[in-house]
A and B are shown apart, each in its own frame.
Chain A
């Protein structure tokens, strides 16, 4: 995909540079001239939105780290100090905290788009797997970031989540102590979480570079899932998609700003304004909303399976709910990418989305009564979707006829 450029060095300096380090050529090829299907809808703008969110989080995070003290006796007050006394601190801290939620909102939409339009299918498996890796690292980063303000939820989330690792046979306890830097969540935990919370975003940035590289080899998938056939099917990335993405980014910033300025605490939990106290357990330990579906899966396994006790079982399903994503390209064998041309898939897809929202609701609900049963059914559907429904559908479903090309489909739409 490197032969689409019309780049000609215009003067001696550019020519000199082009022979040694062709960065200008690279930028022209990949950021401007890159041929992009012309039928991408707004669901495709979330890639650019996510890139911007990563930058927002890194920039605000670096400023916050200048004023934050990762010590158990200072952390809570230093975050308040940022909010109260640092110039612009209340906005920067608000953007960073709300930004985490917006980042996850965008990533869930991005993943949802990928699942519906079959973007994970050949030849984009590596692109997709890097994406799942980024998602996993995002979760780790967000979790450790949530611990830093050292409120009650920070502390107890750290305790509950690190405790998950103790369920691993044999290695459990050493791993747990390594994560915590001791026998319980304490200053050493806070320090290593701060260090890793600063490191991981840069690892994510590196993976994003690979993600985009892997995107630029086969090029974008598109809403009809038919590969680009000719240059008639595409437009150059710039200015067509730079403008469309920028518009979407500005629109995305509106709810973002709404939360930052008008309701900065609504996405968090009041208990996190109480300083961490290992002697007092909060009535309900609830993770941030973006972890709720997976938390529900963790809690749904409250029974022993043969020789596996419920704790390890929960961890296996919890880990499995992410691991299964890595195998998705080989579980869904249907040759048709786009859900728009898969009459049966469509139904199961939307049930999957509704089921995921229900899992989030159940993750926040107390583990009692009907909620427990619903969580089990929902967890079962989550796994069945990947392990049973998708493999089966690719055998029994008859897809609708596909358009010949992107241009054909676009013209059909315009004249029908």
Chain B
């Protein structure tokens, strides 16, 4: 009995020493991306209309020059929980774009609210040719297609805080991650050094800089026109584009969980009353 216990104790001790050692070994040169506070963080978070509108402006004026967003329809911009444009605004916006449509006269027509966001390039090859061989990825669900990692055991917390903002955290970090390459790091012609990009050599030139987008004056004064602000706003917009129904989903979720808690309480009382007469 004693021998067995000491073997188990030794095994547990060995394990407890081995696990942290293993965790340290996986280190690499990319700095850890810090979690940011977003208006849509947490179970009660919702999008900020003004931020989404600013983010849309950055997306439209900068990102959409090279990146497609094939799953975004103009009408989405007027749907509840999103940037909150009016239907008239969306209609007018769509009409500014020309949509390729083989069934229309001359093969194209002005856009309508039901159209998808037009892609800047007609084909993948055309996109590559215009971007030094790199393909600008589609941004429709980009904010869900990227993430951050936390070291063990901190990622366990994510399940309890419902952390779903790894995508915007990464995109924000990436947009702010352009630097001169550190000494000894060779970056190939036509690539740029980015400390958060896997492999550090990214095909996208720094897309944003202080002052590169002109925000309109709002009623509550002006929003800073800085890289930090642009990247925050556009990350929020990309999150909305990837998860446009988040606000209503969380709202429903709150009601569902409240109902389940109440229902569970009633079931507990019923079950106990039923079992009161049975010794078990």
Contacts and interface: CB of A to CB of B under 8 A. Distances in A.
A244 interface: yes
A251 B43 CA distance: 19
B69 to A, nearest CB: 12
B268 A247 contact: yes
A274 B8 CA distance: 45
B270 A243 contact: yes
A64 to B, nearest CB: 17
B154 to A, nearest CB: 14
A374 interface: yes
Nearest to A351: B8
Given A84-B244, A414-B279, A250 B264 contact: yes
B198 interface: yes
Contact of B25 (A253, A264, A265, A370): A370
A227 interface: no
Interface in A351-374: 351, 358, 361, 365-366, 368-371, 374
B225 interface: no
Given A266-B159, A347-B4, A247 B267 contact: yes
Contact of A262 (B43, B70, B268): B43
Interface string A333-346: 00000000000100
Nearest to A152: B145
Contact of A374 (B18, B244, B257): B18
B123 to A, nearest CB: 14
Given A39-B280, A250-B264, A414-B279, A270 B167 contact: yes
B136 to A, nearest CB: 14
Contacts of B146: 270
Contact of B22 (A247, A365, A411): A365
A257 interface: yes
B15 A358 contact: yes
Nearest to A371: B22
A246 B256 CA distance: 17
Residue among B141, B270, B274 with the highest chain A CB neighbour number at 10 A = B141
A198 interface: no
A257 B256 CA distance: 7
A190 interface: no
Nearest to A269: B147
Given A240-B278, A243-B270, A266-B159, A368 B25 contact: yes
A260 interface: yes
A251 B267 CA distance: 10
A257 B15 contact: no
A273 B144 contact: yes
B264 A251 contact: yes
B60 interface: no
Contacts of B242: 273
Interface residues of B, number: 53
Given A370-B18, A370-B25, A374-B18, A240 B275 contact: yes
Interface string B194-224: 0000100000000000000000000000000
A270 B71 contact: no
A175 B159 CA distance: 39
B4 A257 contact: no
Contact of B257 (A254, A351, A365, A414): A254
Given A84-B76, A240-B274, A264-B164, 19 more contacts: A39-B280, A80-B71, A239-B274, A243-B274, A246-B267, A253-B260, A254-B260, A257-B253, A260-B253, A261-B254, A262-B250, A263-B159, A273-B145, A344-B4, A347-B8, A368-B25, A370-B18, A370-B22, A411-B279
Interface of B: 4, 8, 11, 15, 18, 21-22, 25-26, 43, 70-71, 76, 137, 140-142, 144-147, 152, 158-159, 162-164, 166-167, 198, 242, 244-245, 249-250, 252-254, 256-257, 260-261, 263-264, 267-268, 270-271, 274-275, 278-280
27 contacts: A80-B71, A244-B271, A244-B275, A247-B268, A247-B271, A250-B264, A258-B253, A261-B256, A261-B257, A263-B162, A263-B164, A264-B249, A265-B144, A265-B164, A266-B159, A271-B145, A273-B144, A274-B137, A347-B4, A351-B8, A361-B152, A366-B26, A369-B25, A370-B21, A374-B18, A374-B22, A410-B280
